[in-house]
Amino acid sequence: MLPAVDHTAPAILELGLLLLLAALAGKASRAIGLPAVIGYLLVGVLVSPFTPGYVANREQLSILADVGVVLLLFEVGIEINPLRLAREGRRLLLLAPLQVAVTWILSAAACIALGMASAGAALIGLSIAMSSSVVVVNITRSRRRTTNRITDEELLGWSVIQDLVGVSAALVLVVVLGIGGRSGLVAVGGVIAFVVLAAVAAFLLPWLLRRLQAEHDLFLLVSVASGLLLAGVGSRYFGIPLALAAFVAGLAITESPVAAEARQRLLPFRDLFAVMFFVALGTVIDPNTLPQALPWLVAFLAMVVVGKVLVVWIMARFGRLGARTLQLAVGLGQVGEFSYVLGAIALSARLITPQVSSGLVGAVVVSIAASSILVRIAHRPNSREPATVQ
């Protein structure tokens, strides 16, 4: 017993230290007007093997980060309600997928023009087309926000549709590119089998959760277990990337009457593990590679501005949405968790170089910080229109 305690005590100590540092860094980031995510990333950089001083156990961080991204994307999947979107966001159902397609094509073409292989360009282009659901939620809930209710709703709706379209496209890419070493036929079979499994879960899980609704502890356990189990099975046996499988698992129960309660119960755990995901993301940032990655970083930021912010602004303006068009475009003007996941898939399949990967991670950090600040100043209320700061 004692040797086991001696072995695990340093890991527990390190976890507590990292969470405390992340909390302090997140608070400091918010104090200067930045999202807390930037503080979490900086903590990761400080404890990475690429900077002097203390080095965190990356294997332990990796496990916690995987759990974090699974719960994060599982919860995002639960939040998506396709029927409600069809009723309330008909224009968004046209504009958001069109934006993903246009940004994807423009960014992939730019990557190919810069010398990237077409397979890697396809994945990176898709990653540029998607925004960060975490950042968008933070923008709409910030006490310093200047957005109005309609802009908040359309930011969230656009981001949710991006996720839905992007994950579908990513699953197709995984099959087409044969990522994971599987033949196209086997990969297609794996996707179909996982979709069938998710459909079965969509029938069984709500039935089970309804019967456990009064037993809060069991309801929470089954909610978390179902997300982890479906994601793990999809990744282990059907060749679906872990994060994408988690998102589909969330979609499996989104139409359930208990979906909203399941999401609320998951939020504290999602937030805790999501912090570790962003800390772990910070540990892969190697400042020494930044000079080599800088051209890609600048290129990716240019793709975000021209291929996404400008495209969203044009579509929102001519699509006659009720949102403030500039705030909507700037609020979606970042790359985030899905972008990192797709970049990691491309790097593990050797479709991109480490310099490209570092440039993408750098673009995640810079674009999150920039969009979080600029969205607040993209609209200045006049004397007749008070700010909606809360």
**Angle, alpha carbons 23-26-28 (nearest 5°):** 110
- Sorting pLDDT into bands at 50, 70 and 90, what band is 6? low
Which residues have CB under 8 Å from 1's CB, separation 6+? Answer: none
**Residue 53 DSSP one-character state:** S
pLDDT at 384 over 50: no
Q: What is the pLDDT of residue 147?
A: 83
**Range with the poorest average pLDDT among 31-40, 140-149, 180-189, 308-317:** 180-189
| Contact between 313 and 325 (Cβ < 8 Å) | yes
Q: Is the pTM of this model over 0.85?
A: no
Which residues have CB under 8 Å from 353's CB, separation 6+? Answer: none
Q: What is the pLDDT of residue 312?
A: 95
Kindly report, residue by residue over 320-357, the tens digit of the pLDDT.
Answer: 887 889 999 999 999 987 888 888 889 888 899 989 99
pLDDT at 37 over 80: yes
Which residues have CB under 8 Å from 216's CB, separation 6+? Answer: 265
Q: Is 385 exposed, middle or buried (0-12, 13-18, 19+ CB in 10 A)?
A: exposed
Question: What percent of the chain is predicted at pLDDT more than 90?
Answer: 23
Question: What percent of the chain is predicted at pLDDT more than 70?
Answer: 90
- Report the amino acid identity of residue 327: Q
Q: What is the pLDDT of residue 331?
A: 92
Q: What is the pLDDT of residue 383?
A: 41
3-state secondary structure of 339: helix
Mean pLDDT of 162-188: 77
Q: What is the pLDDT of residue 98?
A: 95
Q: What is the pLDDT of residue 110?
A: 97
pLDDT at 388 over 50: no
Nearest CA among 333, 341, 386, 382 for reference residue 360: 341
Kindly report, residue by residue over 45-66, the tens digit of the pLDDT.
Answer: 888 887 887 777 777 777 777 7
Count of C-beta atoms within a 10 Å radius of residue 234: 26
Q: Across the chain, what does the average pLDDT equal?
A: 82
Kindly report, residue by residue over 203-239, the tens digit of the pLDDT.
Answer: 888 888 888 877 877 887 888 888 888 888 888 888 7
DSSP string, 192-226: HHHHHHHHHHHHHHHHHHHHTTT-HHHHHHHHHHH
CA distance 99 to 350: 28
- Sorting pLDDT into bands at 50, 70 and 90, what band is 23? very high
CA distance 325 to 28: 30
Question: Residue 248 to residues 78, 113, 120, 167, 251: CA-CA distances in angstroms?
Answer: 9, 33, 23, 8, 5
Nearest CA among 157, 45, 25 for reference residue 90: 157
Measured in whole angstroms, the distance separating CA 357 from the mean position of its chain's CA atoms is 16
Question: Residues in the chain, how many?
Answer: 390
Kindly report, residue by residue over 77-125, the tens digit of the pLDDT.
Answer: 777 666 666 665 678 888 999 999 999 999 999 999 999 999 999 999 9
Q: Residue 119 has which token pair?
A: 């397979």
- Please report the domains of the chain, with CATH numbers, ordered by start residue: 32-153+160-377 (1.20.1530.20)
pLDDT at 181 over 70: no
**Residue 289 DSSP one-character state:** G
